[in-house]
Amino acid sequence: MSLIDTIAFIFYNAIFYAAPLIFTGLGAVFTERSGVTNIGLEGVMQIGAFTGIISNLFLHDIFGGATVFVSIIIAMIVGSLFSSLLAISSVTFRSDQIIAGTALNMLAAGGTIFLVKKLFEGKGQTPMVKDAITRFDIPVFENIPVIGKIFFQNVYLTSYLAILAAILGWVILFKTPFGLRLRSVGEHPTAADTMGIKVNRMRYIGVMISGALGGIGGAIYAQSITLDYSHATISGQGFMAIAAMIFGKWNPLGMMGAAIFFGFAQSLSTIGPSIPFIKDIPTVYLYILPYVLTILAVAGFIGKSVAPKALNTPYIKGSR
């Protein structure tokens, strides 16, 4: 392959793998900025992946080409409802957020396979979907020399939607009243309360946004990468999205950059054999690369002073 082809190949694969991480990571940013850690995003992605595949399989005849996107929307709604469990238990009933998130993961892992077995006569894996997210060329832009081939030919719509979502997320978080209030709730909930902002309601919204975006992320992942659902579909992507958020210092654009980087690392285990030099590395290193990189990323940035100050602390009126 020529150099341009190689770069294009790496680029769109990186974004392809990154898209689910970007959506979920954006969700993580919103929930943590409101002061609630959602470790359960792994489970949310599983719910999203499961819902996406099931909707796709059952609605394929009704919606034809649009099935994929209808499934994503359904996954978004279900993901949001699922995450409300975390909100209820942590925000209203003051449970520890890490524990609640872990319980969410267990619930999703067990619940989704339970439903798969019920729907498909005891089999632990769904059939493959017929409608997947496909590639296309963006008109006009695709003809620009050099960068046209890299960025605008043969790309997945969802990849660019992800980038747009991250940019929109940044604008909302830093330039709108909603974003200002959300951040205040995560930094100094008592101050926000004195300014008349409903702290717990904001936190619910933050958590449910993360559920919606995580659901989208999971649905995209399943409908583009695995094309079916089983217990092995989502394996750590939810946690990687959280790591991308930390690496990106709780900023949607930083998170996006980190997610693209992790997407690149993930892609290596599949596309590695096609790239010279990479193909000689034993596969085990390629498998663990995203995880090791995540550790290095989290260790390399001493983000202690950067996390929202009121993270993982239930807000109780009158406590100072």
> Which of 183, 205, 208, 210 forms a contact with other proteins (CB under 8 A)?
183
Kindly state whether residue 195 participates in binding other proteins, applying the rule CB under 8 A: yes
Kindly state whether residue 273 participates in binding other proteins, applying the rule CB under 8 A: no
Kindly state whether residue 151 participates in binding other proteins, applying the rule CB under 8 A: no
3-state secondary structure 135-178: EECCCCHHHCCCHHHHHHCCEEHHHHHHHHHHHHHHHHHHHCHH
Pair 21, 244: CB distance under 8 Å: yes
Residue 226 CB, nearest approach to other proteins (Å): 13
> Which of 55, 80, 158, 294 forms a contact with other proteins (CB under 8 A)?
294
Helical ranges in the chain per DSSP H: 3-33, 41-63, 67-87, 97-119, 147, 157-175, 177-187, 189-194, 199-221, 237-247, 252-271, 283-300
Kindly state whether residue 320 participates in binding other proteins, applying the rule CB under 8 A: yes
20 token code pair: 């689910």
Residue 286 CB, nearest approach to other proteins (Å): 9
Using CB atoms within 10 Å of the CB of residue 253, give its burial: 0 to 12 exposed, 13 to 18 middle, 19+ buried: middle
Residue 320 CB, nearest approach to other proteins (Å): 7
Pair 250, 307: CB distance under 8 Å: yes
Kindly state whether residue 292 participates in binding other proteins, applying the rule CB under 8 A: yes
Kindly state whether residue 164 participates in binding other proteins, applying the rule CB under 8 A: no
Residue 145 CB, nearest approach to other proteins (Å): 35
Kindly state whether residue 231 participates in binding other proteins, applying the rule CB under 8 A: yes
**83 three-state secondary structure:** helix
Choices 142-150, 216-224, 251-259, 293-301 (CB under 8 A): range interacting with other proteins? 293-301
163 or 298: whose CB is closer to other proteins? 298
Q: How far apart are CA 245 and CA 76, in angstroms?
A: 20
Task: State the Cα angle at 197 between 195 and 198, rounded to 5°.
Answer: 145
104 token code pair: 């969410």
Using CB atoms within 10 Å of the CB of residue 163, give its burial: 0 to 12 exposed, 13 to 18 middle, 19+ buried: middle
6 token code pair: 């190689």
Kindly state whether residue 251 participates in binding other proteins, applying the rule CB under 8 A: no
Kindly state whether residue 146 participates in binding other proteins, applying the rule CB under 8 A: no
2 or 194: whose CB is closer to other proteins? 194
Kindly state whether residue 209 participates in binding other proteins, applying the rule CB under 8 A: no
Residues making contact with other proteins (CB under 8 A): 39, 85, 88-89, 93-96, 98-100, 102-107, 109-111, 113-114, 117-118, 122, 171, 175-177, 180-181, 183-184, 187-188, 190-197, 231-232, 235-236, 239, 242-243, 246, 282, 284, 287-288, 291-292, 294-295, 298-299, 302, 304, 309, 317-318, 320
